Amino acid sequence: MENSRDYISDFFGFMKKATTPVQTVDTIIERLEAEGFSKLDMNEQWTLSASGKYWLSPYPSMIIAFNTGNSESLTKGMRIVAAHTDNPAFRIKPNPEVNSEGMLTLNVERYGGPIFNTWFDRPLSIAGRIAVKSDEVLKPKVIHLDFQRPILTLPNLAIHMNPGANQGTEIKVQKEMQPLLTRLIEDEVKDNYLLDLVAKEARVNSEDILDMDLNVYCCEEGMLVGAKGEFISCPRIDDLSMVYAALEALVTSENNGGINIAAFMDNEEVGSMTKQGADSVLLSTILEKIRVAIEGMEQRSECRIKDYFVISADGAHGLHPNYGEKTDITNKPVMNKGITIKISGSRSYASEVETIAAFQQLCDKAGVKYQKFVNHSDQRGGTTLGPILSKYLPVHVVDVGVPMLAMHSTRELMGKQDFLDSIEIFRTFFQLK
């Protein structure tokens, strides 16, 4: 792929700003508006045009972007790449200040399934949104904020005081995972310390803040690692690498017919059962609004269910060199050897023979390699967006993703070539005639 160095640098810049789902969507909107995409409102009737570019974000942590083909090809079907904006992390609870001997820590709860011990001794920050008083009772003003600097850390206990640390120690979120915020100086009040800090950052009065939805995140930047710089180490690779790849493919590809859609949903890590998650009618409702708008363009819509194709893009497990026994004995995806097609007899992935074959042909057309992943028969695997979307969209779906290591760690690892190939595959998908 040309300009691969530019893609890597741009990806790291994207990841620096995409710290929580809300900030991720804000970052996506910046990119879309720079590319001439127009905003749509769910509460209005849509008027679409041929060769048009649009986006909508009914809720602040999810976003749908799409473009249309020319007037002769609008009914050639819908091509959709779906990914999720959230990742395992820690959410700050209300009244979070905990004072122990003048050291102020924050009370948090886990979100999803993070690997706890990877969060220790790292620079951490806070991002999310706050609600402040407004003139409309049922419509408080919402402000997005991101400290974008390390204001927290989770210091490990010295091995001298925990000699069994290297033999494995159970980690309790309520005790060990309270990040250190500050050392209180004399006469400094602990109550509402975070509230006052947030108010100052958001430039509002602390007494006007009604509620806060804030996450802790790792603020380390991405980097290339490996003897040949062949791997990407970065926080939140699962699943923002696929969000970035789908977004770039959408904005840089030429639509040769039909509707191209990038759908980025929230709350996959906790089951997707929210209004902004995949386990809702939201996406199918949006697709229906698109279909109705096309019909209103004085042409008959013949876009049938069989003309829809969904690529569910999420991280895949790669072969770990130190734990080969954890992988299936004949299906062992290796980083930098191709994007992975995820398959499961229990239907925890939506891939089936027809969609698997179609994706293989897509990879061949794009000139990139592919691999197949199946769980070790004695281990239960996870699931992803594909089967959930299939509940509401009885269409062709394939589950794929870049093979990666350290999934759900505060820093994850994927192959540089696999990442670049994923952009090329999605671009080829969007350019099909």
Q: How far apart are CA 219 and CA 178, in angstroms?
A: 17
What is the model's pLDDT at position 73? 63
Percent of the chain predicted with pLDDT > 70: 95
User: Is the per-residue pLDDT at 71 higher than 90?
Assistant: no
Angle at 21 between CA 281 and CA 195, to 5 degrees: 120
Segment 357-381 mean pLDDT: 94
* Residue with more model confidence, 304 or 24: 24
Instruction: Report the chain's mean pLDDT, rounded to a whole number.
Output: 93
The residue to which tokens 């595959």 are assigned: 425
Q: How far is CA 402 from CA 101, 243, 253, 263, in A?
A: 46, 12, 20, 18
What is the model's pLDDT at position 186? 75
What is the model's pLDDT at position 264? 98
State residue 99 phi and psi, 5-degree precision.
Answer: -105, 120
**Which domains, from first to last, does the chain contain?**
4-87+236-430 (3.40.630.10), 89-218 (2.30.250.10)
For residue 55, give every residue at least 6 positions away whose Cβ sits within 8 Å of its Cβ, in sequence order, or none: 29, 32, 37, 38, 39, 40, 63, 64, 65, 66
Q: How far apart are CA 358 and CA 373, in angstroms?
A: 16
For residue 40, give every residue at least 6 positions away whose Cβ sits within 8 Å of its Cβ, in sequence order, or none: 46, 54, 55, 56
Reported as a single tens digit per residue, the pLDDT across 226-266 is 999 999 999 999 999 999 999 999 999 999 888 999 999 99
Segment 423-429 mean pLDDT: 97
Reported as a single tens digit per residue, the pLDDT across 91-118 is 999 999 999 888 999 999 999 999 999 9
What is the model's pLDDT at position 72? 65
* Residue with more model confidence, 4 or 402: 402
Reported as a single tens digit per residue, the pLDDT across 285-297 is 999 999 888 866 6
Closest CA to 83 of 66, 113, 63: 63
Q: How far apart are CA 173 and CA 169, in angstroms?
A: 13
Are 389 and 283 in contact by the 8 Å Cβ rule? The answer is: yes
Q: How far is CA 391 from CA 281, 283, 350, 386, in A?
A: 9, 11, 10, 9
Single-letter amino acid code for the residue at 173: V
Q: Could you tell me the two tokens for 186?
A: 């004399």
DSSP 184: P
Helices (H), 235-370: 237-252, 282-295, 353-366
For residue 408, give every residue at least 6 positions away whose Cβ sits within 8 Å of its Cβ, in sequence order, or none: 88, 112, 113, 114, 115, 238
Task: Give the count of beta carbons closer than 10 Å to the beta carbon of residue 273.
Answer: 11
Helix (H, G, I), strand (E, B) or coil at 73: coil
Ranking 3-12, 44-53, 400-409 by mean pLDDT, the lowest is 3-12
Helices (H), 264-331: 282-295
Helix (H, G, I), strand (E, B) or coil at 246: helix
Q: How far apart are CA 97 and CA 93, in angstroms?
A: 9
What is the model's pLDDT at position 300? 47
In 48-183, which ranges are E strands? Answer: 53-56, 63-68, 78-84, 89-100, 103-111, 124-132, 141-146, 180-183
Q: How far apart are CA 407 and CA 412, in angstroms?
A: 6
- Could you tell me whether strands 89-100 and 209-218 are parallel, antiparallel, or unpaired per DSSP bridges? antiparallel
DSSP 269: G
Reported as a single tens digit per residue, the pLDDT across 173-203 is 999 999 999 998 877 778 899 999 999 999 9
- Could you tell me whether strands 339-343 and 231-234 are parallel, antiparallel, or unpaired per DSSP bridges? unpaired
Segment 8-16 mean pLDDT: 97
What is the model's pLDDT at position 142? 98
Ranking 349-353, 382-386, 405-409 by mean pLDDT, the lowest is 382-386
Q: Is the pTM of this model over 0.75?
A: yes
- Crossing angle (nearest 10°) for helices 4-17 and 237-252: 120
Q: How far apart are CA 318 and CA 88, in angstroms?
A: 19
Reported as a single tens digit per residue, the pLDDT across 109-149 is 999 999 999 999 999 999 999 999 999 999 999 999 999 99
Q: How far apart are CA 312 and CA 159, in angstroms?
A: 43
User: Is the per-residue pLDDT at 345 higher than 60?
Assistant: yes
For residue 220, give every residue at least 6 positions away whose Cβ sits within 8 Å of its Cβ, in sequence order, or none: 122, 123, 235, 411
Sheet holding 316-317, edge to edge: 223-225, 231-234, 412-415, 403-405, 316-317
